[in-house]
Structures are given as structure tokens and as C-alpha cells.
Structure 1
Amino acid sequence: MIFKIYRPTKSAMQSGLGNTKFWHIEVESSNSYYIDSQMGWVGSRDPRKQIVLKFDSLQKAVSFAEKCNTKYIIEMPKNGKRLPKSYTSNFLK
């Protein structure tokens, strides 16, 4: 079992940074996905895939993974460039 430690990114549907403050831990499971024959939905036979733990800091998440004696992977957040945009520049030609 391997833990994946990451900070979630902002979704395209939100303008604030509300869900990006915590560090999350998920269990990296093997390819236990299957496709339902009737509906075509993708499912998983591993119930641990649904569990996500939230921590205030990266150090707390790493100490939890070490306390459980499991391997872990840390995905550092990528800081994207934010270009300042002006509404008036849409109408300049």
C-alpha cells in the first residue's frame, strides 16, 4: 500500500482558493477498476480508494504516513503564472 500526499488544485468552477488549504492523503491502489457492463460506469473493488484524509500541513501528513509504516509519494503543488487581465483590452484593436 502506498499513500499519495498532495494539495488539491482549484477547480475551474470556483474563483476562490477555499478547497486548496489542506493536504490530502489517498491510498494509491492498483488497477482494480472495472467497467459495468450494463451502464458503462467505471467502478472500483477497493473501498480504500474512497477514503481521503485531510491535514493542516505537509509535515502532519508525512508523520501520519510514517506512523503507519507505509511508503508515500509527495506531489508538490504547481504554482501557475497569473497574468493580469484588463476588461478594456478586449475592445482594443
Structure 2
Amino acid sequence: MSARIYQRPKNAMQSGKAHTDLWILEFTPSEPRKADPLMGWAGSGDTQVQVQLKFPTLAAAQAYAAKKGIHATFIPTPPKTLKIQAYADNFR
């Protein structure tokens, strides 16, 4: 069983930073999704994909994965960059 540990990025549609400080342990799919012949929806028999565990720190998430025998890969959070521009730059 494998999983990935990452930190949720800030929502681009909102200015708030709610729930961006939590670390998420999410299981990787063990079987590919296939289209349902009647409706065409994508689905699979893998129920672990629906599970998301939230932790306050990275160390807590890694400790949980080690305790349960889950091979977890850490995905680092990309650095936050600000694009600073003035309103007058729109008319250049």
C-alpha cells in the first residue's frame, strides 16, 4: 500500500488561506479507473482512493505512515511567489 503526503495549496479563486496548514495523507490508486458502460462515469473498485487523512504536522503524518506500514512519498510544497505589479502597468 502506498500513499503520498502533501500540503494543500491555497485556493486560487479565494484570498483566504484556510486549511492550507494541514498535511494530507492520500492513498494512491491501486487499479485504473474504467468507464461505466451504461452511464459513462469513471469508477473503480478501489475504495482507498476516497480516504484522506489530515494531520497538523508533517512529522505526525510520517509517523502514522511508518506505524501502519504504509510506504509514503513526500511531495514538497512549492514556494510561494508574489507577482507585484501596479494598476498603471495594465496600460503600458
Equivalent residue, structure 1, for 2:5: 5
- Residue 75, structure 1, aligned to residue 75, structure 2: yes
Q: Deviations over 1:58-83 (max 9, x none)?
A: 00000000110121100011014211
Unaligned runs of 5+ in 2: none
Unaligned runs of 5+ in 1: none
Deviation at residue 26 of structure 1 after TM alignment: 0.9
Q: Sequence identity of aligned pairs in percent?
A: 34
Contact persistence 1:3–1:70 (CA under 8 A): yes
TM-score (norm 2): 0.87
Q: Deviations over 1:2-23 (max 9, x none)?
A: 1211111123222221121100
- Separation in 1, partners of 2:54, 2:4: 12
Contact persistence 1:7–1:22 (CA under 8 A): yes
TM-score (norm 1): 0.86
Q: For the structure 1 residues 64 and 83, does the alpha-carbon distance in structure 2 shift closer, same or farther, using more than 3 Å as the test?
A: same
Q: Deviations over 1:36-60 (max 9, x none)?
A: 2233221121111101000000000
CA RMSD, 1 decimal: 1.5
Runs of 4+ displaced beyond 3 Å: none
